[in-house]
Amino acid sequence: MSKKKKESFFWTSYSDLMTNLFFVMLMLFILAIALLHREVVKIGKERDATKEQLAKIEELERSIEHIDAQYFEYVDEYKRHTLKNVNVSFNTNSSKIDDISLEDRDKLLNAGRAIQEFLRKAQRNISQAEYMLIVEGQSSKDNYAYNYELSYARALALVKYWVANDITFDDLPCEIIISGSGQASKFRNLPDVGSNKSNQRFVIHIIPKPGVIEYQ
């Protein structure tokens, strides 16, 4: 093969190689732009979802202000609505609902119905409204070995009392949490000492629960 033909073959091959490299780099560039665009869109949707979540939280927090003020009040220190004007006090080492006076048991029934009515209104007026209803049993600070079990039984006694009187929340936007905090809760009557029997009780908290906001 002559020298001129060898040079012509070399430059032809070199040109083909550079053309192929150009197309490879072009495809990588297009792929990088596409991936970057997808990430930008994803970040934008996440930002919009966050805004929507914040708006939902604010809407739910405003809505709970309309719950019956006769039985519930907002406690700023704990950022929640809780039961008021009902004297709930059990006998020592007891979880019997009959320990509570008939008058206050009637108030507990009315409080349960007030929660039902509030949740029905929220269900009608607020899209995807969700709340947590926490019934928290407590005990006096007497270092009784079974205060957690006892306090849970007190909370459960209220829920069973409601159910026995046709007060349920199964079809409402509400998650019920029955808990027993023993003598460990921060939401307690003072002075928080063993002789203060007013902590032999349960408390009711209602907290907005923003739902999960999905984005495509």
- Give residue-wise pLDDT tens across range 149-197: 999 999 999 999 999 999 999 999 989 999 999 888 877 777 877 777 7
Q: 212: pLDDT confidence band, cut at 50, 70 and 90?
A: very low
Cα Rg for the chain, rounded, in angstroms? 32
Higher-confidence position of 45 and 150: 150
* Helical segments of the chain, H only: 3-63, 102-125, 147-164
The span from the CA of 194 to the CA of 201, in Å, is 13
Angle of helix 147-164 versus helix 102-125 axis, rounded to 10: 70
Q: 100: pLDDT confidence band, cut at 50, 70 and 90?
A: very high
For 50-62, how does the pLDDT look when each residue is reduced to its tens digit (9 = 90+)?
677 677 667 666 7
Mean pLDDT of 60-80: 77
Does the pLDDT value for residue 22 go beyond 80?
no
Mean pLDDT of 57-68: 73
Q: What pLDDT score does 8 carry?
A: 55
User: How many distinct structural domains can be found in the chain?
Assistant: 1
Q: 216: pLDDT confidence band, cut at 50, 70 and 90?
A: very low
* Domain interval for residue 5: 1-216
Q: 43: pLDDT confidence band, cut at 50, 70 and 90?
A: low
Residue-by-residue DSSP string for 84-110: -S----PPTT---GGGS-HHHHHHHHH
Does the pLDDT value for residue 47 go beyond 50?
yes
Q: What pLDDT score does 64 carry?
A: 72
Q: Count CB neighbours of 27 within 10 A.
A: 10
Cis bond upstream, residue 173 (ω within 30)? no
The span from the CA of 37 to the CA of 47, in Å, is 15
Which pair of tokens denotes residue 94?
């007891």
Q: Count CB neighbours of 45 within 10 A.
A: 13
Which CATH number is 129's domain given?
3.30.1330.60
- Burial of 155 (C-beta count, 10 Å sphere; 0-12/13-18/19+): buried
Higher-confidence position of 5 and 158: 158
Give the bridge partners for 135, in sequence order.
178, 204
**Least confident span in 103-112, 170-179, 195-204:** 195-204
The span from the CA of 155 to the CA of 138, in Å, is 8
Mean pLDDT of 10-16: 60
Per-chain mean pLDDT for the chain? 80
Q: What pLDDT score does 127 carry?
A: 75
Residue 107 · residue 83 · CB < 8 Å = no
